[in-house]
Amino acid sequence: MKHNIYTTTLISLGLMTSFSAISATKDIENIVVTANRTQQDQFLALSATQIIDREDIAAFQPLNVTDLLDKVAGISVTKQGDAGQNTSVFTRGSNNGHTLILIDGVRISSATLGSTSFESLSVTQIERIEVVKGPRASLWGADAVGGVIQIFTKKLESGDAIVSVGFGSNDLKQVDASVGLGNEDHSLTLSIAGQESNGFSATETVGQEDNDGYDRYSFALNGQSKINDELSLNLTSRWEKGNSEFDSTFTPEPEGEFENFHVGVNAQLTQDNLYSELSIATSANSSDSLSNGVKTSEFTTKRDQVNLLSSYQIAEQTSVTGGVDWYIEKVSGTTEYSVSEREVLAGYVQGRHQVEDVFFEAALRHDDIEKVGSETTYNAAVGYQFSETLIVSLSRATGFKAPSFNDLFFPADIFSAGNADLLSEKSVSNELLIRKKYSSGQFEVSVYQSDITNLIIWLPDANFFFSPINVSNAEIDGVDVSWTMSRGPFNHVLALSYLDAKDASTNIELPRRPDLTGNYTLTYQWDKLNVGGTVSYRDDSKDSASPTSVTLDDYWLLDLSANYDITEQLSVTGKINNVFDIKYSTANGFESDGTNFIVNMTYVF
């Protein structure tokens, strides 16, 4: 059954009205920085935002970052197997690669593929995730078409330490440890993590029935130093390495290896009404393909970046923020590109003003991208705060994604070639946002409409020679609903999404984007025991844009979890996923895991 966007909106508003009678039990205060690149109360942000904190991560026991993102309203995830296999993330119906991914402010996407390898990220290193939905290119630049996801790595107080060990189905083994060093003014957090699994067979293709295992190891070092009352310095660094086996009809014993790192230094200066920040970082991600243990290809992206931001509080209710972003991307490996590096220079300015209960926000940015051209993006929003607990906003924003090195400069062979004349993919979005908070939780509903033009698609000619062209446009309408509420020993989390995403010229729905998705999590705290369950639903969807595409069936899943505090320092957590052993697929030809479990024991020093 297909669902009407207006019906979904009315249901959402009805839910908000009914929830307003819930009694208050605890106050919720959340600060976000990703929405406007400066600290802001999440409730007053004029963009749809969600925070995933350490408690959420502990409760969900995810094996992959996308296990967390898949619970966010407006985000849909497809997997080609277990936690070590290829994964795609679609935010508000936009393409994989249309969401900007940051780790501690550092871009981590591949410049050759134009997307992020989520399967290589170690979830145990994460302290917090901020998800901002809708275009934010006016502040962050390229890739922020569907939204921005920023991952903040773990930071501990001096003297604190955490050790966790776990095991699970498919011979899963994992361990992570973190320790905080230093003192109140100068601190350093050291974290290490490792995870291994024999995996499972994700395809029934003859000759590919073997299990596909993976391993990944990570190391992170994060520091904070308070020089004086005005100046502070921050260090962020991470290194990750791993291997994944996968299935292929054409390659014998295929494997993939990766190695990623980033190092960044950030200086923050606060003087009266002026806040300034300078960040310098370097990063690299490398992926290798192997057959029978022999390397067949290698692709490496190196990126150096410098960001300068200043925010001035002109008056109590007026502020202006401006900045400059610069980065240079270099690609290398077994494939020799005709152009192997490009420079990006951008400047932006944002103004925010409040007149009594009315909030105004506007931003403008200009990006100059070498070998591609320049792009100017904007964001404009107005919000009205009806009360201390209710705010409504309207916004319009633009975004873009520059063609990747593969799209532009992939060297010609007998099968394909890049196209140096490609234009950037562009988007225009409108959004109505309603946010209601209670001392016991928060409700948020957003209704949005997006048009994406110049979409890049690799198509064959009459001789089946493939090259990319700007040929497709997309029309997307949707509604996202998010609700959290704590009352007594019960905690509720609800995420609902309705999506109508289609090709504007053919009216065919965009592949692997279910019309309706939902997640409901209920947890109960009794003394030292916390038990919970999550019910998830995914509507059916097409696997490709072809009129004769295979339809991926809809499905329901139930996950159960429990946590018990043995002592104040020692706790044990267990989770059973896919309790009813449902057979389902998010990508044609690849099955997901059946009933599986994970157990973790954590000691806090």
CA–CA dist 494, 483 (Å, integer): 5
Residues sharing a CB contact under 8 Å with residue 583, sequence separation 6 or more, in sequence order? 591, 594
Q: How many CB atoms lie within 10 A of CB 87?
A: 28
CA–CA dist 57, 37 (Å, integer): 24
CA–CA dist 52, 127 (Å, integer): 9
Residue 342: name the closest of 301, 298, 376 by CA. 301
CA–CA dist 302, 272 (Å, integer): 38
CA–CA dist 604, 58 (Å, integer): 13
What integer pLDDT is reported at residue 355 of this predicted model? Answer: 96
Confidence of residue 124 (pLDDT cuts 50, 70, 90): confident
Average pLDDT score over the chain: 91
Element (H, E) at 408: helix 405-409
DSSP 139: H
Q: How many CB atoms lie within 10 A of CB 9?
A: 18
Q: What is the pLDDT of residues 92-118, one digit of tens each?
A: 999 999 999 999 999 999 999 888 888
- Give me the mean pLDDT over the 364-393 stretch: 97
- Give me the mean pLDDT over the 464-493 stretch: 94
Task: State yes or no: pLDDT of 539 exceeds 50.
Answer: yes
**Structural domain that includes position 531:** 5-604
Confidence of residue 81 (pLDDT cuts 50, 70, 90): confident
Chain centroid offset of residue 503 CA: 24
Query: Given CA atoms 115, 116, 119, 123 in this order, what sign does their dihedral have?
Result: negative
Q: What percentage of residues in the chain have a pLDDT greater than 90?
A: 79
- Give me the mean pLDDT over the 205-226 stretch: 87
- Give me the mean pLDDT over the 161-186 stretch: 95
CA–CA dist 197, 246 (Å, integer): 13
Q: From its phi and psi, is residue 68 left (phi > 0), alpha (psi between -120 and 50) or beta?
A: alpha
Task: State yes or no: pLDDT of 334 exceeds 80.
Answer: yes
Q: Are the beta carbons of 420 and 432 closer than 8 angstroms? A: no
Confidence of residue 253 (pLDDT cuts 50, 70, 90): confident
Reported in sequence order, the residue ranges of 292-336 that DSSP labels E, i.e. its strands, are 294-315, 318-333
- Give me the mean pLDDT over the 340-344 stretch: 97
Provide the 3-class DSSP secondary structure of residue 586.
coil
Structure tokens at 172: 């899963």
Task: State yes or no: pLDDT of 517 exceeds 70.
Answer: yes
Provide the 3-class DSSP secondary structure of residue 414.
coil
Structure tokens at 575: 């989770």
Q: Are the beta carbons of 159 and 184 closer than 8 angstroms? A: no
Structure tokens at 442: 């928060």
Residue 98: name the closest of 429, 362, 411, 361 by CA. 429
Residue 452: name the closest of 517, 518, 513, 361 by CA. 513
Chain centroid offset of residue 274 CA: 31
How do strand 48-52 and strand 99-103 relate by DSSP bridges?
Answer: unpaired
CA distances from 343 to 138, 326, 329, 426 (A): 18, 8, 6, 20
Chain centroid offset of residue 322 CA: 25
Q: State pTM to two decimals.
A: 0.93
Partners of residue 359 on adjacent β-strands: 354, 383
Q: How many CB atoms lie within 10 A of CB 178?
A: 23
Task: State yes or no: pLDDT of 491 exceeds 90.
Answer: yes
CA–CA dist 53, 251 (Å, integer): 40
DSSP 44: G
CA–CA dist 99, 137 (Å, integer): 10
Structure tokens at 308: 């300068």
- Give me the mean pLDDT over the 390-417 stretch: 95
What integer pLDDT is reported at residue 61 of this predicted model? Answer: 86
What integer pLDDT is reported at residue 18 of this predicted model? Answer: 39
Amino acid at residue number 127: E
- Give me the mean pLDDT over the 515-526 stretch: 96
Q: What percentage of residues in the chain have a pLDDT greater than 70?
A: 94
Confidence of residue 207 (pLDDT cuts 50, 70, 90): low
* More confident position, 219 or 82: 219
Residues in the chain: 605
CA–CA dist 8, 414 (Å, integer): 49
CA–CA dist 39, 285 (Å, integer): 29
Structure tokens at 563: 């946590």
Domain count, the chain: 1
CA–CA dist 261, 181 (Å, integer): 22
Range with the poorest average pLDDT among 286-300, 425-439, 555-569? 286-300
Element (H, E) at 204: none
State the CATH number of the domain containing residue 27.
Answer: 2.40.170.20
Task: State yes or no: pLDDT of 24 exceeds 80.
Answer: no
Q: Are the beta carbons of 213 and 197 closer than 8 angstroms? A: yes
Task: State yes or no: pLDDT of 12 exceeds 80.
Answer: no
What integer pLDDT is reported at residue 292 of this predicted model? Answer: 86
